[in-house]
Amino acid sequence: MKNTFFIEIYDTGPGYHNKSILIKFLRVSIRYSARLLGYKKTLFLLELCQSSLQYLNKSYFNYLLGLNISCIKHIISLYSIGIESSVSVKNNWSEYVLAQSKNYKSRVNARMYLSLLSRHGLYKPKFRKFDSVINQNLIKRSTDKKFYIYGPNAENSPNTKYKDYTLVLSKDIELKNSFKEKFLFSNSHTFRSSISKDSKLQSLLVNKYDKVMVNCLHSKLPSNFERAKFPIGDNISSPMALGRILYNLIHQYGRFTCVIEGFDFYLDNKMYSSYYPYRAGINSTNIEQVICDSLRTHDAVYNFLYVKELCSYLDINDSISFNQLIKMSGSKYLMKLDEVRSFDLLK
Parallel, antiparallel or unpaired: strands 211-215 and 225-227 = parallel
CB neighbours of 26 closer than 8 A, spacing ≥ 6?
Answer: 61, 64, 65
Question: What residues are paired with 211 via a beta bridge?
Answer: 183
- What pLDDT was estimated at residue 86? 97
pTM above 0.85, yes or no: yes
Segment 264-291, tens digit of pLDDT: 999 988 767 666 665 444 555 688 998 9
Position 16 pLDDT exceeds 90: no
- In this structure, are residues 340 and 269 in contact, taking their beta carbons and an 8 Å threshold? yes
- Mean of pLDDT values over 192-206: 91
Residue 159's CB: how many other CB atoms inside 10 A? 16
- pLDDT for 163 beyond 90: yes
Range 181-188 average pLDDT: 94
| Nearest Cα residue to 50 out of 80, 72, 18 | 72
pLDDT of residue 9: 96
Cα–Cα distance measured from residue 87 to residue 258, given in angstroms and rounded to the nearest whole number: 31
Tell me what the mean pLDDT of segment 28-51 comes to.
95
Domain ranges of the chain: 21-119, 136-346
pLDDT tens by residue, 73-111:
999 999 999 999 999 999 999 999 999 999 999 999 999
Residue 280: what pLDDT?
44
pLDDT score, position 128: 79
pLDDT digits (tens, 9 = 90+) for 118-129: 999 999 988 878
Confidence class of residue 115 from pLDDT cuts 50, 70 and 90? very high
pLDDT for the residue 325 = 96
Q: What does the alpha-carbon distance between residue 8 and residue 29 come to, in Å, rounded to a whole number?
A: 9
